[in-house]
Structure 1
Amino acid sequence: MTAGTAQNWGSTLDSVVVYAQGALCRRLARGSVPPGGRVRVTGLPRSLDPGSLRARVLGAPGVRVTEARMEVEAEPLGPDTGTDIDAGNGTGSRDALRREVERLRDAYAAARGRRDRQLSLIEEVRGLHPVPPPREPEDPHRRTPVDAWLELAEFVDERLAGLHTRLVELEQALLQLEHELTVAADKLARASTDAPPAHVETTVSAVLTLDGTGVTDEVEVELEYGVPGAVWVPAYRLTHRQGDGTGRLVLRASVAQRTGEDWTGVRIALATADLRRRTDLPKLRSIRIGRRQPAPVPSGWREPPAGLADLFAGYEAAGPRPVTTAAPAASRTGSASGPVPPPPPPPAPQGFGGPPSGLPVPGSAYGSSPDVYGGAMADQARPAPAQPAYGQPSPARPAAPSQPGGRPRGGGFAGAPAPRAPAAMAPPAPGAAAPPPPPPPPAGPPQPSGAELDYAALVLSGPDEPGGRRGRLFPTSPHDAVAADHRRRAEAVAALPLPGHAVRPRESAGSFDHRFDAAARADVPSDGTWHTVTVGEIPVGLRTEYLCVPSVEPTVYATLVLSNATDQALLAGPVEVTVDDDFLLTAALPTLAPGGVRRVGLGPAEGIRVTRRTNVNESTAGLRNNVTVLDHRVHVELANGLARPVTVEVRERVPVASEPDIRIEERADWTTPADGAGTEHHAPGTRVWRVDLPAGGTTALDGGYEIRIPAGKALVGGNRRS
């Protein structure tokens, strides 16, 4: 299919689902179905994963997609195609920014050279000093020309003053150019990658084949594809008013993407799932004992045609092609001159048993598995590809040696044999061990990979290829190297430093996956920097409580107790807390599961004071005073200096006995906190007082416990406990 046989349709990016790494984009295209049914949808990014492309027709039951394939076209840019830099805001195309950086770099190098030359001149002038002529022993004493010395010193001072003045000007100009170069380099690093590279314009399009009869109206086609180079982390903004039992928690996301296309006015959804996680189920094959065995599954491999080696006999008899440009032959004593040998053949591509480097593994959410996305889909069903006319495979024929992954060792798709060793091979050295024999070929026909079964992408090797490749089909993708480079640069966005208190969604989501849909459309340029996107408001239960542990620190801390009553988890991330329309602080929100309750610390509460006093009495008890009683008394006083009532939680800790002859008896009205799902974890022996204090009120709490131990023993560290 050529460019003239397909009708071009423009497309617009409608929605994007950003996963933990990578994104799934959805484009819409509209047009009338041409008579041939072949259309070309343009506007796709360069970093698109070819194995993730799928298409379907919306709202037209009589039309379906029977083939979808990606094509890349490149053409040189004209001399006046670039976009100049806008002097007002410093924005422009990447090509113009790159030219500006190169110009400033050259100017900076020239300015530094001028500064260095000025420094060398200063050193030369500074080294000027009077040198008296040598005096012979018989010569009489001569008078020193003081006037000449003074004139030389005056000349040096005057010359140095002018040179230093010029040096100050050169250093200022150098600093200015360094600043401009830093700003331009930063703009280039932050510029959007949604622009063609220098001097070349690359067009990525999806070529679709539509099957529909009697359709005259316009149809709408949906394209879905995966791209790397997109990450996100959650962020929150919490608004609360004191005395109110609810709050507004706004979920925001920091999104960074370098996919090669700007997301302008798109619907964004955020997911915690791994886009490249395998989704195929393991298969356990049965082991059968007996003569009757199940028929082998057809692999798609076909026998190479007979007489393939004789097909190029006439081409070889014609002799080598004339050499147009010959390198100068190196003369050597005793060596015969001969024709220049042809360059060595390029190494056969490796890894056809699996997906190319940088692509998802088969069976992933947008991998190359034909039962998930495939290159050609028709209403979620892909027809079986036609088999090439190579004849039927012979089960009894020994297969060619294959490499790991099922690819024939010779690189050929049609059962190419292993390459033969060169005829002129140096004999092994005397006494050297003989090389081990090659392993026997595995039984059965070769099992080609998915790339080798993609018949539309196979290319017939010509007569100039090595002998093991001529006349055979090989998968080839001329744009794989360039696309891999685009994907590699796009995936570098995963190494961006995270904002403060931010946590990767895969780390905070745990074993569950969640999705959050933004309420409004947003813009995210392809510049590889963080951009804030507002997702929506989440209703949460909220109350203010005060917490203190006076045995550790005589300070009362203010906390917000959040309860999640929704069916979605709140992932860990930074939360900006605003109380009574005043920004308070940015705290770290822990992961809050549905139905969970968590605390967020707000810092010390200066309006509430707490004091603690302890008293320990040691006595004996028992029939023969064989028990030592350690009576610990705790007295806590609270004073509320705020203008509103508060609830204060006072925490104490009771010792936990690890031996059976030690008993602990509590004498207080405190309670034991409950540990369970969705609640805060407490250390063993924790006891809690919950006190409601009115505005300006005070209260006192008394508690204690007794430790009973045998009289002949003592506690480690002393019997007195504070």
Structure 2
Amino acid sequence: MVAEAEQRWGATLDSVVVYAQGALCRRLARGTVPPDGRVRVTGLPRSLDPGSLRARVLGAPGVRVTEARVEVEAEPLGTDTPDALRREVERLRDEYAAAQGRRDRQLSRIEEVTALHPVPPAREPEDPHRRTPVDVWLEFADFVDERLERLHGRLVELEAAVRDLGHELAVATDRLSRASTDAPAAHVETTVCAVLTFDGTRGSETEVEVEVEYGVPGAVWAPAYRLTHRQGDGTGRLVLRASVAQRTGEDWTGVRIALATADLRRRTDLPRLRSIRIGRRQPAPAPSGWREPPAGLADLFTAYEAAGPRPRTATTPVPPPPPPPPPLPVPVPASAPVPQAYGAPPAPAPGAVGGAMPDLAASPAPRPAPARARAGGRPRGGAGPGDGAGFAGRPAGMAPPSPAAPAAPAAPGMAAAPPAPAPDPVSGPPRPSGAELDYAELVLSGPEEPGARRGRLFPGAAGDPVTDECRRRAEAVAALPLPGQAVRPRASAGSFDHRFDAAARADIPSDGTWHTVTVGEIPVGLRTEYLCVPSVEETVYATLVLSNATDQALLAGPVEVVVDDGFLLTAGLPTLAPGGVRRVGLGPAEGIRVTRRTNLNESTSGLRGGTTVLDHRVHVELANRLAGPVTVEVRERVPVTSEPDVRIEERSDWTAPVEGEGSEHHAPGTRIWRLDLPAGATAALDGGYEIRIPTGKALVGGNRRS
């Protein structure tokens, strides 16, 4: 009756932030708050995380949301529910099963006819010899052959029907598995609502707009790019696109999409350092939601136990077989206390085998420290010493553990076990956890529970099987294969987190497949350069040099390169930090030719020829056959040494590359020539170096040629 009296507001999905795994959805709802201040906001997906629900009021000063709770409702589906695809699968499955049955029955008939054979009558000993009627046998064989021919002809038709229906069923099942999960998956529709309680309406109906935010699993994304460039032009357009897949259980239609590299499940709470006080002992703050269990709680179940076990009916589950008797416990000294775990039944008294289990409710509960208890709310102040060890406090109706039972004397002939270390005493009154103070989620244990739980409040179950199945299906999107050359955002983001907001709204159905969303254009510096390493390969390669001039990083991913309105290739773009520079290879440039020749002269110098001199000469020729000027970078390599007696003297105008942040990594000894070649021009580059090696360190017969 309360649920029917509450107002129901429909919510519209407005924006979604997709993280590395998971998403944060934001819905908007508008309506008039009733005098009691309770409203149900409908339309939430089944896979949402209840702990992520947030709600706030927009544009209404003085009105705020004091409570937000997730509730699940179920109702049968109507006859006009659009579920044609699922009904088609069910129809094909029934027809396929019927076709298989007809095929199997036909096979049975064929086996029966095949088993037919003539049986001669029994012959008595005094009967004369009879001749076999061959014509009857031949007529019978013709009958069997004719019958089998008709049966096999019908079997071919039935097998073809089974094969066609199996193909149609496989296609329909695949379409159903790829369809959106926004539609209900059973004959009973389950909807998730957010029950909101407003404050500040002053008992009158007030029209407000509320924002509901929640997190859902089952959403992933990977970056992709499209680079447009024209030859001879020093500019280009880099468009950031994202491949997004989601199976959250709701279709994202006309929503604003934002993409983030952060981890949605990462903890963001800060550690709390507690003070150490020297001097007089400070009393711990009293918890506001705890009190002792009522006296005589165990007496409430005396009549229930006297009635005996309940009669088992058809719906009553069969109890499991009794466990084997416990082994004989080893007695412990009386000084060793026996700790009791929260929510666990107490252990039997040491020394007793199969004895009765003591009831915690019957044992006297220790009186807590003086505290002022309130009817509800959460404990004031933080947890004091002893937090996280020993007994965890309970809300109203939840009893603390009983003191340890005295140990029985050791049995004759049995060695006493060493005393167990005594746990640290817990100072102060119990401190209930957040789950124990959430009164709406506490469940009262019934009389069928063990003696330590019956009649007490405990936190309810975390979820139900249907919700767990929805979340399992949603999280399966994380195993979806990535598109070609795509990289996970967390793998390429490194130690930074960025957010990219799409320029326009987008539609992404909940089908678990990749959908491309255009995020926006990123301003980048772009220039065309040609690179060659003639000592490795006499080929000139065209490259695009990208420089990131924004304050956001460009994540690694595939980039489609379009040159002069024609698709050229798909390359892999590495992660480009703000201010970084990277090259994107475009392949060989056939219009530029390069040749390389080397010359080596070996001689000696110094007193008595004590130094071997290896004179290397390098000659590189370039020819530009393109229609426009080009900038070519030629790379050579000079030997490096770690021996102080070996000297290397360079004789060329090449330069060493600048190593620094954002620059390209070069191997030791790399040297660079950079020159501009006009259209149709040629150029020659000469370089060289001398290697001076002491005669005592020269390798006799070694190959010193490059």
Is the pair's TM-score, using the shorter chain for normalization, greater than 0.5?
yes
Count the aligned residue pairs. Answer: 641
Moved more, 156-165 or 464-473: 156-165
Q: 2:215 aligns with which of 193, 202, 226?
A: 226
Residue 276 of structure 1: how far off its partner (Å): 1.2
Residues 313 and 254 of structure 1, relative CA distance in 2, 3 Å threshold: closer
Aligned 8 A contact 2:14 2:27 in 1: yes
1:720 partnered with 2:704: yes
Q: Distance in 1 between matches of 2:322 and 2:184?
A: 34
Report the identity percentage: 75
Equivalent positions of 1:249-260 (< 5 A) are 249-260=238-249
Equivalent positions of 1:440-479 (< 5 A) are 440=423, 442-444=425-427, 445-477=429-461, 479=463
Provide, for residues 531-575 of structure 1, a one-character-per-residue CA deviation record: whole Å limited to 9, x for no partner. 111111111111111111111122221111111111111111111
Q: Distance in 1 between matches of 2:530 and 2:700?
A: 34
Aligned 8 A contact 1:503 1:572 in 2: yes
SS where residue 608 of structure 2 aligns?
coil
SS where residue 486 of structure 1 aligns?
helix
Q: Which runs of 5+ in 2 are unaligned?
A: 120-131, 324-340, 345-371, 381-385
Q: Distance in 1 between matches of 2:6 and 2:507?
A: 32
What does residue 370 of structure 1 align with?
A: none
What does residue 313 of structure 2 align with?
A: 325
Q: Distance in 2 between matches of 1:638 and 1:619?
A: 31
SS where residue 51 of structure 1 aligns?
helix
Aligned 8 A contact 2:618 2:686 in 1: yes
What does residue 626 of structure 1 align with?
A: 610
What does residue 191 of structure 1 align with?
A: 179
Q: Which letter does structure 2 place at the counterpart of 1:554?
A: E
Residue 652 of structure 1: how far off its partner (Å): 1.0
1:282 partnered with 2:266: no
SS where residue 60 of structure 1 aligns?
coil
Residue 443 of structure 1: how far off its partner (Å): 2.1
Residue 484 of structure 1: how far off its partner (Å): 2.9
Q: Distance in 2 between matches of 1:311 and 1:56?
A: 47
What does residue 30 of structure 1 align with?
A: 30
Q: 2:191 aligns with which of 185, 203, 212?
A: 203
Q: 1:669 aligns with which of 644, 648, 653?
A: 653
Residues 83 and 517 of structure 1, relative CA distance in 2, 3 Å threshold: same
Residues 429 and 659 of structure 1, relative CA distance in 2, 3 Å threshold: farther
What does residue 261 of structure 1 align with?
A: 250
Q: Distance in 1 between matches of 2:139 and 2:597?
A: 88
Q: Distance in 1 between matches of 2:580 and 2:75?
A: 58
Q: Which letter does structure 1 place at the counterpart of 2:237?
A: R
Please report the TM-score for the alignment, with normalisation by the length of structure 1.
Answer: 0.78
Q: Distance in 2 between matches of 1:40 and 1:117?
A: 57
Residue 31 of structure 1: how far off its partner (Å): 0.9
Equivalent positions of 1:464-503 (< 5 A) are 464-477=448-461, 479-503=463-487
Residues 513 and 193 of structure 1, relative CA distance in 2, 3 Å threshold: same
Residue 254 of structure 1: how far off its partner (Å): 0.8
Aligned 8 A contact 2:229 2:237 in 1: yes
Aligned 8 A contact 2:441 2:460 in 1: yes
Aligned 8 A contact 2:389 2:426 in 1: no
Please report the TM-score for the alignment, with normalisation by the length of structure 2.
Answer: 0.80
What does residue 527 of structure 1 align with?
A: 511
Aligned 8 A contact 2:182 2:510 in 1: yes
Equivalent positions of 1:413-428 (< 5 A) are 414-417=398-401
Q: Distance in 2 between matches of 1:649 and 1:236?
A: 26
Equivalent positions of 1:211-610 (< 5 A) are 211-213=199-201, 218-288=207-277, 292-300=280-288, 302-313=290-301, 315-316=303-304, 319-320=307-308, 323=311, 325=313, 387-388=374-375, 407=392, 414-417=398-401, 440=423, 442-444=425-427, 445-477=429-461, 479-610=463-594
Aligned 8 A contact 1:238 1:578 in 2: yes
Residue 24 of structure 1: how far off its partner (Å): 1.0
Moved more, 48-57 or 116-125: 116-125
Residue 707 of structure 1: how far off its partner (Å): 0.9
Q: Distance in 2 between matches of 1:620 and 1:108?
A: 92
Q: Distance in 2 between matches of 1:405 and 1:276?
A: 29
Q: Distance in 2 between matches of 1:83 and 1:17?
A: 29
1:61 partnered with 2:61: yes
Residue 598 of structure 1: how far off its partner (Å): 0.5
Residues 160 and 586 of structure 1, relative CA distance in 2, 3 Å threshold: farther
Q: Distance in 1 between matches of 2:378 and 2:672?
A: 83
Residues 113 and 294 of structure 1, relative CA distance in 2, 3 Å threshold: same
Q: Which letter does structure 2 place at the counterpart of 1:486?
A: C
Q: Distance in 1 between matches of 2:379 and 2:18?
A: 46
Moved more, 591-600 or 305-314: 305-314
Q: Which letter does structure 1 place at the counterpart of 2:45?
A: P
Q: Distance in 1 between matches of 2:219 and 2:379?
A: 46
Q: Distance in 2 between matches of 1:412 and 1:31?
A: 37
Q: Distance in 2 between matches of 1:608 and 1:161?
A: 76
Q: Which runs of 5+ in 1 are unaligned?
A: 86-95, 132-143, 330-339, 354-384, 394-398, 422-426
Q: Distance in 2 between matches of 1:684 and 1:145?
A: 103
Q: Distance in 2 between matches of 1:234 and 1:122?
A: 61
Residue 328 of structure 1: how far off its partner (Å): 12
Provide, for residues 146-171 of structure 1, a one-character-per-residue CA deviation record: whole Å limited to 9, x for no partner. 99999999999988887776666555
Aligned 8 A contact 1:72 1:479 in 2: no
Moved more, 169-178 or 273-282: 169-178
1:657 partnered with 2:641: yes
Provide, for residues 51-73 of structure 1, a one-character-per-residue CA deviation record: whole Å limited to 9, x for no partner. 11111111111311122111111
Q: Distance in 2 between matches of 1:255 and 1:391?
A: 41
Residue 642 of structure 1: how far off its partner (Å): 2.0
SS where residue 609 of structure 2 aligns?
coil
What does residue 333 of structure 2 align with?
A: none
Q: Which letter does structure 1 place at the counterpart of 2:191?
A: T
Residues 490 and 341 of structure 1, relative CA distance in 2, 3 Å threshold: closer
Q: Which letter does structure 1 place at the counterpart of 2:675?
A: V
Provide, for residues 399-426 of structure 1, a one-character-per-residue CA deviation record: whole Å limited to 9, x for no partner. 9xx9979657x999723436999xxxxx
What does residue 333 of structure 1 align with?
A: none
1:181 partnered with 2:169: yes
Q: Distance in 2 between matches of 1:169 and 1:405?
A: 75
Q: Distance in 2 between matches of 1:653 and 1:512?
A: 36
Residues 707 and 300 of structure 1, relative CA distance in 2, 3 Å threshold: farther
Q: Distance in 2 between matches of 1:149 and 1:633?
A: 104
SS where residue 712 of structure 1 aligns?
helix
SS where residue 622 of structure 2 aligns?
strand
Residues 326 and 419 of structure 1, relative CA distance in 2, 3 Å threshold: farther
Q: Which letter does structure 2 place at the counterpart of 1:83?
A: P
Aligned 8 A contact 1:10 1:43 in 2: yes
Q: Which letter does structure 2 place at the counterpart of 1:637?
A: E
What does residue 12 of structure 1 align with?
A: 12
Equivalent positions of 1:78-93 (< 5 A) are 78=78, 80-85=79-84
Q: Distance in 2 between matches of 1:717 and 1:176?
A: 77
Residues 463 and 695 of structure 1, relative CA distance in 2, 3 Å threshold: same
Aligned 8 A contact 2:288 2:377 in 1: no
Aligned 8 A contact 2:493 2:555 in 1: yes
Provide, for residues 637-668 of structure 1, a one-character-per-residue CA deviation record: whole Å limited to 9, x for no partner. 22222222221211111111111111111112
Q: 1:637 aligns with which of 598, 605, 621?
A: 621
Aligned 8 A contact 1:305 1:390 in 2: no
Aligned 8 A contact 2:290 2:396 in 1: no
Residue 229 of structure 1: how far off its partner (Å): 1.2
